[in-house]
Amino acid sequence: MITFKIKRYNPEKQAEPYFEEFQLGETDDLTLLDCLNQIKWTLDGSLTYRMSCRSAICGSCAVKANGHAILACQKQASQLVKDNDTITLEPLGNMKPIKDLAVDFKPFWDKVDKVNPYLQSSKKPPEKETKQSPEQFKLIDDASTCIMCGACYSDCNVLEVDDNFLGPAALAKAQRFVQDSRDGETLARVKELSKPGGIWDCTHCGECVERCPKPAEPFDRIKEIMTVALEQGVTNNNGARHALSFTKSVKSSGSLNENIIPVESVGFFNVKGLFDLLPVGLRMLFKGKNPPILHKSIDDVEDVKRIYMELSE
Alpha-carbon 63 to chain mean position: 17
C-alpha–C-alpha distance, residues 4 and 63, integer Å: 13
**Which percentage of the chain shows pLDDT scores above 70?**
100
Q: Are strands 2-8 and 86-90 parallel, antiparallel or unpaired?
A: parallel
Across 202-241, b (16+ Cβ under 10 Å) vs e yields: beeeebbeebbbbebbbbbbbebbbebbbebebeebbbbb
Largest CA distance in the chain: 72
The better pLDDT of the pair 153, 305 is held by 153
Going by pLDDT thresholds of 50, 70 and 90, the confidence category of residue 305 is confident
C-alpha–C-alpha distance, residues 284 and 89, integer Å: 43
* pLDDT at 90 > cutoff 90: yes
User: What 8-state DSSP symbol labels residue 144?
Assistant: G
Residues 25, 27, 31, 33: what is their CA dihedral angle, to the nearest 10 degrees? -10
Phi, psi dihedrals of residue 219, rounded to the nearest 5°: -60, -40
Q: Delineate the domains of the chain, giving CATH numbers in brackets.
A: 2-103 (3.10.20.30), 106-190+207-231 (1.10.1060.10), 238-312 (no CATH)
CA distances from 56 to 94, 101, 210, 216 (A): 22, 18, 16, 14
Closest CA to 77 of 44, 43, 34, 32: 32
Q: What is the mean pLDDT of residues 129-136?
A: 92
Question: Could you read off the pLDDT of 200-238 as tens digits, one per residue?
Answer: 999 999 999 999 999 999 999 999 999 999 999 999 999
Q: What is the pLDDT of residue 162?
A: 96
The better pLDDT of the pair 307, 95 is held by 95
Q: What is the pLDDT of residue 252?
A: 82
Burial of 113 (0-12, 13-18, 19+ CB in 10 A): exposed
Q: What is the pLDDT of residue 73?
A: 97
* pLDDT at 293 > cutoff 80: no
Going by pLDDT thresholds of 50, 70 and 90, the confidence category of residue 248 is confident
Which residues make beta-bridge pairs with 3?
23, 86
Side-chain-side CA neighbours of 159 within 13 Å: the count stands at: 23
The better pLDDT of the pair 121, 137 is held by 137
Mean pLDDT, the chain, rounded, equals 92
Q: What is the mean pLDDT of residues 112-117?
A: 97
Q: What is the mean pLDDT of residues 140-148?
A: 97
C-alpha–C-alpha distance, residues 99 and 10, integer Å: 5
70-84, 98-112, 122-136, 148-162: lowest mean pLDDT where?
Answer: 122-136
CA distances from 83 to 1, 87, 88, 183, 196 (A): 13, 9, 11, 51, 42
* pLDDT at 261 > cutoff 90: no
* pLDDT at 1 > cutoff 80: yes
Residues 249, 252, 255, 258: what is their CA dihedral angle, to the nearest 10 degrees? -40
Supply the pTM of this predicted model.
Answer: 0.88
Going by pLDDT thresholds of 50, 70 and 90, the confidence category of residue 82 is confident
Q: What is the pLDDT of residue 67?
A: 96
Amino acid, single-letter form, for residue 39: I
The answer to whether 242 and 261 are in contact (CB under 8 A) is yes
Going by pLDDT thresholds of 50, 70 and 90, the confidence category of residue 121 is confident
Question: Could you read off the pLDDT of 24-35 as tens digits, one per residue?
Answer: 998 889 999 999
